[in-house]
Amino acid sequence: MAVAAERASGTMAEGARAAAPLAVAVGVFGIAFGVLARDAFGATASLVFSAATFAGSAQFAAVSLVGTGGMAGAIVAALLLNSRYLPIGLSVAPSLPRPLWRRLLAAQLCVDESWAIAHRGGGRYDARVLIGAGIVLYLAWLVGTALGLLGGEVIGDPEDLGMDAAFPALFLALLAGQVHDRRGAVAAVLGGLVALALVPFVPAGVPIIAASVVCLIGLRPVRA
C-alpha cells in the first residue's frame, strides 16, 4: 500500500487501488449475501438493502435472524452491529468535504475498510481516499449481491475459499500501519481484550462499541 506523507493529500485513485484486493472479498461476500437473502427477503428488497445499508455483517445478521429471531430481533441486531458508525462518523467528520450534502454523501461511503484505508494517523482522514475506496467497495457489494440473487450457487461457500479470514487479515495490516506510538499500541491491546472478554456475553456488535471506549485514554495529556 502506498505510504503517503502525513500531510500530503491523497487521491480517489489511490483509495480505489488500496481497496481493490478487498473489493474481491467484498464481492464474494456480496454473492453469498444475495444467495442467502433471496429466500428470506426476495430479490428486490435484498438489492435495495445492499444499496441503502451497505454493511455486510449487519445485513447477514438481519437475514439470518428474520427467519428465526423474528423481525424485531433482526432489526436490533443489525443496528447494534452498525452502531460503530456513530464513533466512526465522528472521527471522520472534521476531514470531510463541504458543503453539507457532499459531507453526508461521503459519510455513507464510510465503511470499516474505507475508513481504515483513509486514516492518515493522528485522527486525521483523507476524504478523497475515503471516497475512492468507498465507491469501489460499494460497487463490489452491489454487483456481488446482484450476482448472488441471479443464482451464485456456482461460486460455492465463501468460507470454503477462506474469505472470512480475509477481513481480519486486512484489519491487522491496517492496524500495523496505524500504531505510531506507545499509546496507539496500548489502545489496540486494550481494545482487543475488551472485545474478546465481551464476545461470549453480549450480542455481536456490542463488543466493538465497548472497545471504542478505550480511546478515552487519549484524554490524558501526553508526557514529553
Partner 1 sequence: MSDAWIVVGIVSAGTIALKSAGPLLLGGRELPPRVMGVLALLAPSLLAALIVTNTLGGDRAVELDARAPGLAVAGVALLLRAPLLVVVAAAAAVTAGVRALGWLA
Check binding of 136 to partner 1 (CB under 8 A). no
Look-up of cell digits 441503502 = 52
Query: Taking CB under 8 A as the rule, which mask of x and - marks residues 152-191 in contact with partner 1?
Result: -------xxxxxxxxxxxxxxxxxx-xx---xxx-xxxxx
State the angle between helix axes of 12-41 and 43-53 in degrees (0 to 180), rounded to the nearest 10.
Answer: 150
Which amino acid, one-letter code, is at 51?
A
| Closest distance of CB 181 from partner 1, Å | 9
CB closer to partner 1 out of 117 and 147: 117
| Closest distance of CB 48 from partner 1, Å | 6
What number of chain residues touch partner 1 (CB under 8 A)? 103
Check binding of 10 to partner 1 (CB under 8 A). no
- Choose, by CB under 8 A, the member of 12, 26, 32, 116 that binds partner 1: 116
Check binding of 121 to partner 1 (CB under 8 A). yes
CB closer to partner 1 out of 152 and 158: 158
Which distant-in-sequence residues (6+ apart) come within 8 Å of 101 by Cβ? none
| Closest distance of CB 147 from partner 1, Å | 19
Range in contact with partner 1 (rule: CB under 8 A) among 4-12, 135-143, 147-155, 198-206: 198-206
- Choose, by CB under 8 A, the member of 7, 200, 223, 224 that binds partner 1: 200
CB contact burial 60-99 (16+ within 10 A = b; e otherwise) = bbbbebbeeeeeeebebbbebbbbbbeebeebbeebbeee
- Choose, by CB under 8 A, the member of 11, 36, 69, 103 that binds partner 1: 103
Q: How far apart are CA 201 and CA 208, in angstroms?
A: 13
Residues 40-99 that bind partner 1 (CB under 8 A): 40-42, 45, 48-49, 52-55, 58-59, 62, 66, 71, 74-75, 78-79, 82-94, 96, 98
- Choose, by CB under 8 A, the member of 18, 26, 32, 146 that binds partner 1: 18
Range in contact with partner 1 (rule: CB under 8 A) among 7-15, 102-110, 136-144, 147-155: 102-110
